[in-house]
């Protein structure tokens, strides 16, 4: 076996690549999912299922805090431990303070204080899930109540500058105050968005097993390369002794970026019992103890000339997080570059509350920030008596308006124009109430979409197999987004192999490190590492062929140069060829401002009697560089559109302001769109290559698809019935309250 190393730092734009000259044309095609047959036949083992054939596996069930802020003064687990089938109650000796009595043990890892309702206190381990659950109810916890803050709306006066996070906390240019005051036409409004739950189909789960001093953990985590270090720090052990495996993940949306209590407690329980321990959170526990999207209060101020040129733009956000957590929702992230305006102020402030931790959730920042911004743009367009698309067109910047960088590519106006043509925007009602279908008032709305492009370092191992085909290995994950399929397509296209002859192995921390799934960076980043490996393989094959690599062609398992054609197997001569490849962004990535763009168009019907809203049509037109797989990309956009429907109309975590309990902590009461809520969706991709974004000329698309959707829906509601609601979600009671006299219940 021969092993080669490859490293590619992208310091120049990828003007033309081997992909553009490929003889195979696999990339971009709507190829079926690589792992699809395993999933539909039940053979893809998710985290909780990995120990299903292990008869010695134990089951864990959490005891959660029933106070929002309190000090634990006693934890008595004797009744639980006496129950037949109970094997262990997790304790952490470091948390015991001044008592040798086991009934006085404090909870694992959290010392003696809880800071939010539903925080993990301890874990009961038993022979079955049912016994563990029943025993957990016997654990008695005594609390000393402490004063807590449970209502972020009451905390806005305490908001402070948290320092820089995913974006700088304060971004300015020019003199916003003076520019806004001097503007001929101004708009000033506050929009609010609620907390939301990630609500992934697969609940958080972990199975832990020890092999001597080494820990093997099967989990459902998105960023394996960093998750290992997080778990090592929590357990106080070297990360070299930890293996995390997550080959299949049933959705993440950011809720599985970091390790959860289930990983730490499963590891502790497995070490202390000497047996594998498996934990799966119930749906209620997922809602109450993992993480949420933070609620926001967003003040949007726009100043413009009478002919619709923005001269001042302000976007000020207040959001909360649990005490001690650093993340804040970066709602102004797209406002920084989406529209012109020489005077700018975008700020983020946060408050500390004793409620569940806030974290990244699909399109953190844009998903809620563009609800406010794109509603405000619609309201300002109306005030100026300018068509919403035309208003946006007049404020299209030639360069990044904040940092004055050139755009790597930007087809926002093209997306709006193509969407308007396909949707029939010219038929949009001129005034609310002009178009009806019986008791349904019909309206059209639109919104722009943007999502900043991100590119990360990534490594892979590519093996050209002596017998036949190839294998790709990386700890990169697939959360249902298509990573398996896309990496397979890139290698097949570049190496001239049939997709079915390429094996893809993902989600094991022992493999070369990928960036993980998050930020819409996965496909381009890990795909660029596969590209790097394939380029090195081509160089090696050209050398063996005695040919210039630029003349080399690969197709149908053959290597072609000049008038010679040989099989790949004959060049390998019975020996595998291994390439360890690493890709990293370079000067080309940093020299431009990069983002994916799109436009959403929506038709709604609003019932003038009940206030109910029905989405009748929804079109997304997107430009996101090279589309690597048309089928998986469209699927991602469908998911984003449906996510946006929920954001606009139904999704809201209701927090009990007395103690921080999430009241609607399951899918019966937390309302996500179901089939009856979703119309036939349409997605159109504009052809685009962005040579600065990655060697593949591709950009992220998964999170673009949600950005702005909710605003398109609520803008359409206004066009239908004349009701503006700036407090999301736009439920029927809010619509009814705003309907003009003569409408509503009769």
What's the CA gap between 469 and 557, in Å, rounded? 8
* DSSP 8-class letter at 432: T
pLDDT at residue 526 in the model:
98
pLDDT in tens, 610-647: 999 999 999 999 999 999 999 999 999 999 999 999 99
Q: Which residues contact 714 (CB under 8 A, 6 or more apart)?
A: 371, 375, 445, 648, 724, 725, 728, 730
Among positive and negative, which fits the CA dihedral 690, 693, 697, 698? negative
Tokens 């990293």, residue? 584
Neighbours of 232 (CB within 10 A): 17
- Which pTM does this prediction carry? 0.96
- Bridge partners of 655, per DSSP, are 662
pLDDT at residue 470 in the model:
98
* Residues belonging to the active site: 703
- The pLDDT mean for the chain works out to 95
DSSP 337-360: TSS--SEEEEEEEEEEESSPPB--
Beta carbons of 334 and 370 less than 8 angstroms apart: yes
φ/ψ of residue 729, rounded to 5: -80, 160
Which residue ranges of the chain lie beneath pLDDT 70? Answer: 52-53, 92-111, 742-746
What's the CA gap between 114 and 325, in Å, rounded? 14
Q: Which domains does the chain have, with CATH numbers?
A: 2-30+455-587 (3.30.365.10), 48-64+69-147+204-280 (3.30.365.10), 296-453+594-738 (3.30.365.10)
């Amino acid at each position: 076996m021969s092993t080669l190393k490859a490293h590619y730092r992208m310091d120049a734009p990828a003007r033309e690549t081997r992909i553009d000259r490929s003889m195979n044309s696999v990339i971009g095609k709507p190829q079926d999912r690589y792992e699809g047959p395993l999933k539909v036949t039940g053979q893809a083992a998710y985290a909780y299922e990995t120990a299903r054939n292990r008869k010695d596996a134990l089951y864990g069930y959490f005891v959660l805090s029933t106070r929002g802020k309190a000090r634990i003064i006693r934890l008595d687990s004797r009744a639980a431990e006496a129950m037949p089938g109970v094997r262990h109650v997790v304790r952490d000796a470091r948390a015991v303070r001044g008592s040798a009595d086991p009934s006085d043990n404090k909870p694992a890892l959290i010392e003696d204080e809880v800071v939010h309702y539903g925080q993990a206190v301890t874990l009961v381990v038993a022979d079955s899930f049912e016994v563990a659950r029943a025993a957990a109810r016997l654990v008695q916890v005594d609390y000393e109540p402490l004063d807590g803050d449970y209502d972020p709306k009451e905390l806005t006066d305490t908001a402070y500058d948290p320092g820089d996070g995913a974006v700088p906390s304060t971004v300015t240019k020019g003199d916003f105050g003076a520019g806004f005051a001097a503007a001929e036409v101004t708009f000033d409004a506050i929009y609010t968005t609620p907390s939301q739950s990630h609500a992934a189909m697969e609940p958080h789960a972990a199975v832990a097993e020890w092999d001597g001093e080494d820990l093997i953990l099967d989990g459902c985590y998105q960023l394996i390369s960093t998750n290992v270090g997080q778990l090592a720090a929590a357990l106080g052990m070297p990360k070299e002794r930890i293996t995390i495996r997550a080959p299949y993940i049933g959705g993440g949306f950011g809720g599985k970026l970091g390790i959860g209590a289930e990983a730490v407690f499963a590891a502790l329980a497995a070490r202390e019992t000497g047996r594998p321990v498996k934990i799966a959170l119930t749906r209620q526990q997922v809602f109450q103890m993992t993480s949420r999207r933070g609620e926001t209060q967003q003040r949007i101020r726009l100043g413009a000339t009478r002919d619709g040129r923005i001269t001042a733009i302000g976007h000020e956000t207040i959001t909360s997080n649990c005490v001690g957590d650093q993340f804040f929702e970066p709602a102004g992230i797209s406002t920084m570059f989406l529209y012109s305006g020489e005077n700018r102020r975008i700020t983020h402030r946060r408050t500390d509350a004793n409620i569940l931790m806030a974290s990244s959730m699909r399109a953190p920042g844009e998903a809620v920030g563009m609800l406010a911004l794109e509603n405000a743009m619609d309201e300002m367009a109306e005030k100026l008596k300018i068509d919403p698309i035309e208003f946006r067109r007049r404020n299209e910047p030639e360069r990044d308006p904040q940092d004055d960088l050139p755009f790597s590519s930007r087809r926002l106006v093209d997306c709006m124009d193509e969407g308007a043509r396909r949707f029939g925007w010219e038929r949009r009602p001129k005034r609310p109430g002009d178009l009806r279908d019986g008791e349904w008032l019909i309206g059209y709305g639109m919104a722009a979409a943007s999502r900043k492009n991100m590119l990360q370092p990534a490594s892979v191992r590519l093996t050209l197999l002596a017998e036949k085909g190839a294998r790709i290995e990386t700890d990169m994950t697939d959360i249902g987004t298509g990573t398996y399929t896309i990496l397979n397509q890139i290698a097949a296209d570049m190496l001239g192999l049939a997709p079915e002859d390429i094996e893809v192995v993902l989600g094991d921390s022992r493999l070369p490190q990928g960036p993980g799934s998050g930020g819409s960076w996965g496909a381009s980043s890990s795909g660029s590492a596969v590209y790097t490996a394939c380029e090195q393989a081509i160089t090696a094959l050209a050398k063996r062929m005695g040919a210039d690599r630029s003349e080399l062609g690969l197709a149908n398992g053959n290597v072609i140069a000049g008038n010679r054609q040989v099989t790949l197997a004959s060049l390998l001569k019975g020996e595998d060829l291994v390439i360890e490849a690493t890709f990293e962004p370079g000067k080309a990535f940093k020299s431009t401002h990069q983002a994916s763009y799109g436009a959403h168009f929506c038709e709604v019907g609003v019932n003038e009697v009940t206030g109910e809203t029905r989405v009748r049509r929804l079109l997304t037109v997107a430009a996101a560089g090279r589309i690597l797989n048309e089928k998986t990309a469209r699927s991602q956009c469908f998911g984003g559109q449906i996510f946006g429907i929920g954001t606009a109309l139904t999704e809201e975590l209701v927090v009990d302001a007395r103690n921080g309990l999430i009241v609607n902590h399951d899918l019966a009461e937390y309302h996500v769109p179901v089939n009856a809520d979703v119309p036939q969706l349409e997605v159109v991709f504009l052809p685009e290559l962005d040579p600065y974004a990655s060697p593949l000329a591709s950009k992220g698309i998964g999170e673009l698809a949600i950005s702005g959707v909710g605003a398109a829906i609520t803008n359409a509601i206004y066009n239908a019935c004349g009701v503006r609601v700036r407090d999301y979600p736009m439920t029927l009671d809010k619509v009814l309250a705003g309907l003009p006299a003569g409408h509503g219940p009769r």
